[in-house]
Homo-oligomer: A and B are copies of this chain.
Amino acid sequence: MQKARASGSIDTFELTCLLWGNERIVEERRAAFKRVEKALGIYDSTKLPRCYSETSREDLFEQGLGMGKAYLDDMLEHNHEHFVWVTPRYNLVNASPFGHKAVLFEPAMEYNGTEEQKARWLPLARSGRILGTYSQTELGHGSFVRGIETTATFDPDSDEFVDGKPMPGIKMGDVGLKLGYNEAENGFASFDQVRIPRSQMLIAHSQLAREGTFTKDPLRAKLSYSVMLLVRGRMPGIFTVQLAQALTIATRYSVVRQQGLGPADALNTEASIFQYKHQHFRLMSMIAKTYAMFFGSRICDDQYDELREMQSKNDHSLLPSVHALTAGMKAYVTSEAADSAEDARKLCGGHGYMSISGLPDIVGALTGGATFEGENYVLWQQVGRHLLKQLDRLQDGEPIEPQVQYLADVEDPNIVCSAFGTQFLDPEVQLTIYRDRAHRLVVKAHSAIRASSKLPADAWNEHMMLLISASRAHTEYFILRSFIDTISSLPDTTSSSLRTVLNRTRSLFALSTIINPRTVDALSFVETAYADSPHLTTTQLDLIRSLVNGLLDQLLPEAIALTDAWDFSDASLCSALGMYDGNVYENIMRWVEQLPINQKAWQKGGVQEGWEKWVDPILKREIAKL
């Protein structure tokens, strides 16, 4: 591990500061994580974490409560926001029972409450004097919010809360273990004749009059969606970072793990598995994608902040494009992060299958993202609807959003790519390939749906897969563009070695995505409207494959630096495979020996629970027959 760590050409700390903002933020974050990890008793990584030894539904939830209290205490005491969006394990905070506090409960009041309501409740909520949650989905409903038949609200009476019991008529419960997020309680609540004072509904944008009339403020109605947009908009960044955790674990393991005698069994000693091309290709291309998604997420965050700023001046003009952008980014990142984290887990072989690798939990958490805050296939259609409308506007001679300006600027996206050789390393060449692909797909989906002789809904359904491909390609173009823009706006003080590595990482993302066998919608990189004119020929694709191989070789020595730079603490990774020291086998055995199932058996001289009840009777019975 030391050798691999020393092989990189960049200053890891420089990259860390670029990723998290600046040196002060990095130091603050480190201090905050350390305090909370000490408070939770997880700072000493020789100790088996409780989440691997106490795993009943009740145990995991209780651990979540402990974690939630620790980070809430730390934020209140030290006045910072490092755990507003993530837990100390880098889960989205609604993996904690206190997680809804700052990301849903307070924003819901802030965005949808009147000034009077905000003055009354917000200070109480912010200081932790009242705690709240968020209740939305019904048993028979999901993302179809309009179809919901019950209304749910919170009860601000602190007496009732301190009592810790639901009010009369409310039945609440947990849904049991889930694939992830088990530290939080995803529950159900049923309401039977529950009375809610009218004054306790959030009525900034819509009101129910005493006589029962429901009114909406049309100018402000758009703000109601802001809480949802806020959470959705933050998800790409958070899930990207969680993927970075999985890749950090897999990279450290791959450097240390030796297996076989090298490619084609040509060596005399066992080789680090990182040297095998299938491991190398998958790991490095996923690291490159993670950087791309991270920079894309940051630009997505900026756009959301700009929207909020404009909305505070009652200008909602950015809403459609930010809505489409966050929907696309959320769908893209959560799909890619879940798939990539699972592949990172597979890269750790049988050891990645053990819970103590930390990987099953990360994968479990990431796969949830594909469903919550808008099911991804629903979101892709929302992006698609936006793109089709923009193309309608363009055809009607109306102005369109800057994000889709390429639909107007480029005359024919079916033109074949003429690049050769190292021209494919040019960011503009790469961007053109992604842009024209998105353009071709948007136009194709638009023609198919708008020109169909079927009913609009039937045409939509028939070509839905095409529309989803168009939405995805549009988002992928945005991500590559963000990576390029980020590099070109790096501060002047950035070292040239870091610039070189980031440029190679960007090229690896752009080019490996085209030829990766597992790329989604790969055919669309070559298909054009003209039957016999592929956008990229086999010759060009093979050239790209060759360039990817070169980039992989150049970036292999940087792998540890590129993952160390994320600056994850051992406790946050919670992985016997992924600790900073690289002592994989020692760490595995140290944790395994502390497992209660082993401790109990060894105290009994090696006999496992269940032997007397289940195994012994078979042997005794069959032997007695002899």
> Contacts A66-B614, A164-B615, A174-B598; is A537 near B532 (CB within 8 Å)?
yes
Interface centre among A461, A545, A592 (most CB of B within 10 A): A461
Interface residue count on the A side (C-beta < 8 Å): 158
Contact assessment for B367 and A346 in the assembled complex, using a CB-CB cutoff below 8 Å? yes
Q: Decide: A626 near B465, CB < 8 A? Known: A270-B147, A355-B177, A609-B58.
A: no
Q: A144-B261, A263-B457 are in contact. List 9 more A-B contacts (CB 8 A).
A: A61-B609, A66-B614, A97-B615, A129-B626, A130-B619, A174-B597, A263-B458, A515-B523, A519-B522
Contact check, B615 vs A131: say whether CB atoms are below 8 A apart.
yes
> In chain B, what residue has the closest Cβ to A601?
B173
Q: Known: A129-B626, A539-B531. Contact between A595 and B65, CB under 8 A?
A: no
Nearest-neighbor residue (CB-CB) of A282 within chain B: B377
CA distance A469 to B281 in the complex (A): 14
- The stretch of A107-115, A134-142, A484-492 in contact with B is A134-142
Considering residues A265, A615, A626, which has the most beta carbons from chain B within 10 angstroms of its beta carbon?
A615
Docked Cα-Cα span, A322 to B162, in Å, equals 68
The smallest beta-carbon distance between A328 and chain B, in angstroms, is 15
A27 to chain B, nearest CB (A): 28
Bound complex: CA of A270 vs CA of B615, how far in Å?
Answer: 53
A23 at the A/B interface (Cβ < 8 Å)?
A: no
Q: What are 8 of the A-B contact pairs (CB < 8 Å)? A: A55-B55, A147-B270, A173-B593, A178-B355, A266-B457, A279-B377, A523-B523, A532-B532
User: Interface with B: A210-218, A300-308, A368-376, A427-435, which one?
Assistant: A368-376
For the complex, give the distance between the alpha carbons of A57 and B52 in Å.
Answer: 9
A63 to chain B, nearest CB (A): 9
Option from B277, B592, B625 in Cβ contact (under 8 Å) with A188 = B592
Give the distance to chain B from A135, nearest Cβ to Cβ, in Å.
13
* Distance between Cα atoms of A59 and B129 in the complex (Å): 39
A228 at the interface (CB under 8 A from B): no
Residue A600, interface by CB 8 Å:
yes
A193 contacts chain B at the CB level, 8 A cutoff? no
CA distance A593 to B171 in the complex (A): 11
Within 8 A of B (CB), among A597-612: 597-598, 600-602, 605-612
Q: Does A127 contact B (CB under 8 A)?
A: yes
The answer to whether B353 and A178 touch across the interface, beta carbons within 8 angstroms, is: yes
Q: When A and B form their complex, which 9 residue pairs have the shortest distance between CB atoms, in order from nearest? A: A266-B457, A263-B461, A65-B614, A531-B537, A277-B464, A264-B460, A173-B598, A177-B355, A179-B360
- Cα A613 to Cα B371 with chains together (Å): 32
Whether A597 touches B531, Cβ cut-off 8 Å, given contacts A144-B270, A259-B144, is: no
CB distance from A355 to the nearest CB of B (A): 4
The quantity of this chain's copies bound in the complex is: 2
| Alpha-carbon distance between A520 and B612 when the two chains are bound, in angstroms | 49
Question: Does A364 touch B at the CB level, under 8 Å?
Answer: yes
Interface: A8 (CB within 8 A): no
Residues of B within 8 A of A532 (CB): 532-534, 537
A557: interface (CB < 8 Å)? no
Contact A538 B528 (CB under 8 A): yes
Complex formed: what's the CA distance from A606 to B172 in Å? 7
**B-side contacts of A600, CB under 8 Å:** 58
Judge whether A320 is part of the interface by a CB distance below 8 angstroms: no
Complex CA gap A127/B620 in Å reads: 12
A161 at interface by CB-CB < 8 Å: yes
The CA of A531 and the CA of B542, in the complex, are separated in Å by 10
Interface presence of A419 (CB below 8 A)? no
Contact of B264 with A461 in the complex, beta carbons under 8 Å: yes
A392 within 8 A of B: no
Within 8 A of B (CB), among A56-109: 56-59, 61-62, 65-66, 68-69, 72-73, 97
Interface residues of A in 170-189 (CB under 8 A from B): 172-180, 185, 188
Within the complex, what minimum Cβ distance (angstroms) separates A28 from chain B?
23
A518 contacts across to B, CB distance below 8 A: 520
**Closest CB of chain B to A45's CB: distance in Å?**
16
Contact present for B371 and A462 (CB under 8 Å):
no
Encoded as 1 (CB less than 8 Å from any B CB) or 0, chain A from 258 to 290 comes to 111111111100100001111101000000000
If A129-B626, A595-B57 touch, whether A259 touches B142 (CB-CB below 8 Å) is: yes
How long is the Cα–Cα vector from A295 to B58 in the complex, in angstroms?
44
CA distance A165 to B521 in the complex (A): 55
**A393 CB to nearest chain B CB (Å):** 18
Confirm or deny: A529 has a beta carbon within 8 angstroms of a beta carbon on chain B.
yes
